[in-house]
Structure 1
Amino acid sequence: MTPEEALAKAREFSRNAASVTPFAHAELENARHGRGYAFRQLVPTDRGDIDGYVLIGADGGMASGIFTEGESMATVVAAHLAKAAHDHREIPEAELGLPQRLALAALEADGHLDDATVDYARYLLIFMQREGKSVLARVDALLRPPEAGRRYTHACPVCGRPAIHQDRYPRAVCGACHERTTDRGGRRVAGSNTSFSGGFVAHYVDPPHEVCVEVTQTGRCWIDGREASMGEHRFGGIVVQAV
């Protein structure tokens, strides 16, 4: 945009075209971000004409107003350039939070982050938090795309964190809550299989190997005072579900 084109646009934009005059400002006219042209104008009001301004951006953007107490063309232009610099600043990735980094990763992929993709990403994150990033190299299945229609995680019914979903165990708790199971009195317990073929027994964590008869017989345990069940997983291992 040339200075002449900017002047014509400013007069078209102003409510008092005849009063619009250029205001030379080298920094504004050569700025890397927010480049444009400044003009003075008289703004008609019920109190008479008041000094004002029009800014025309090289990108076609426009702004206008009247000078408030303490304002001048210099302060208006300085504020405009400061905002333009702020809006175009480079933000180091290390300064971004997790949601922002995830959104950037999605943008760099294909920009599509639907519910199924988010669900599968949470599923993968559970494994990586448990076993480290190298789990992706060790378990080829985790490199496959998600199966259409499959649900991979659900919100833990105790704390809300993602938990691995299986239709047979819809109220299974997350790994963190699984590690906080106790007996009725609040003493920490953990379950295990009695043999390679399965079975279930609950032991106290401290001291280890002492059988917790109550939880073993009833399958009832507690997480932060909330009742849950503990028992043998159908395919081996132990499953804990909120009641």
Structure 2
Amino acid sequence: MSNTEFHPCPICSIPTRYFARYTRAVCDNCYSKACDVQGRKLSFFNTSMSGGFEAIVTETKEKYESHICYIAGVKCWAEEARFGGIVIEMMIDGDLPNR
């Protein structure tokens, strides 16, 4: 494992792939634990092959109208990744890193 390719997940500290664009990206395990403020599990999707962002409450399939989610009580932000897929990053004092 190279220091330039991995960094500790900001939530659980497990080594996860490092992307310079997403410096606070969480690991896959933490990603799967994303929930809303009420503790309901969330699922995230691209809306089409060309991208877009959609979030739902996993159990009810109800549309979730925010990018804010929580992992282990830590406030995070889910968004469409630059080249497709969804990335979740930890927020610090309500802010994300500059893009």
- Give the TM-score normalised by structure 1: 0.36
In the aligned structure 1, how far is the partner of 2:57 from the partner of 2:17? 25
SS in 1 for 2:82: coil
CA–CA distance in 1 between the matches of 2:63 and 2:22? 25
2:69 maps to 1:224: no
Corresponding residue for residue 210 of structure 1: 62
List aligned pairs for 1:101-180, cutoff 5 A: 118-119=1-2, 151-180=4-33
> Deviation of residue 179 (structure 1)?
0.2
SS at match of 1:184: coil
2:52 corresponding residue in structure 1 = 199
Distance 1:224 1:157 in 2: 11
Structure possessing the higher radius of gyration over alpha carbons: 1
In the aligned structure 2, how far is the partner of 1:175 from the partner of 1:119? 19
Q: Which has the higher helix share?
A: 1
Deviation at 1:176, TM superposition (A): 0.3
Alignment of 1:71-110 (within 5 A): none
RMSD over aligned Cα atoms: 1.2
Q: Distance in 2 between the 1:178 and 1:162 partners? A: 14
Which one-letter code corresponds to 1:211 in the other structure? K
How far apart are the structure 1 equivalents of 2:56 and 2:5? 30
Aligned letter for 1:238?
I
Question: How far apart in 1 are the matches of 2:17 and 2:43?
Answer: 19
CA distance in 2: counterparts of 1:240 and 1:159, whole angstroms: 14
2:34 pairs, out of 163, 181, 194, with 181
Q: Percent identity?
A: 37
Instruction: Kindly provide the amino acid, as one letter, of the partner of residue 230 in structure 1.
Output: A
**In structure 1, C-alpha distance between the alignment counterparts of 2:17 and 2:57, rounded to whole Å:** 25
For structure 1, the 5+ residue unaligned runs are 1-117, 121-150
Alpha-carbon distance in 2 for matches of 1:163, 1:229: 17
Structure 1 segments (4+ residues) deviating >3 Å: none
Q: How far is 1:184 from its partner?
A: 1.2
Shift of 1:162: 1.1
Secondary structure at the aligned position of 1:182 is classed as coil
- Following the alignment from structure 1 to structure 2, what is the Cα–Cα distance between the partners of residues 185 and 119? 38
Quote the offset at 1:195 in angstroms. 0.5
How big is the shift at 1:210?
2.2
Between Structure 1 and Structure 2, which shows a larger proportion of strand residues? 2
Secondary structure class of the residue paired with 1:181: coil
CA drift at 1:181: 0.3
Q: Counterpart of 1:212 in structure 2: which amino acid?
A: Y
Number of positions where the alignment pairs a residue of Structure 1 with one of Structure 2:
91
Name the SS of the counterpart of 1:119 in structure 2. Answer: coil
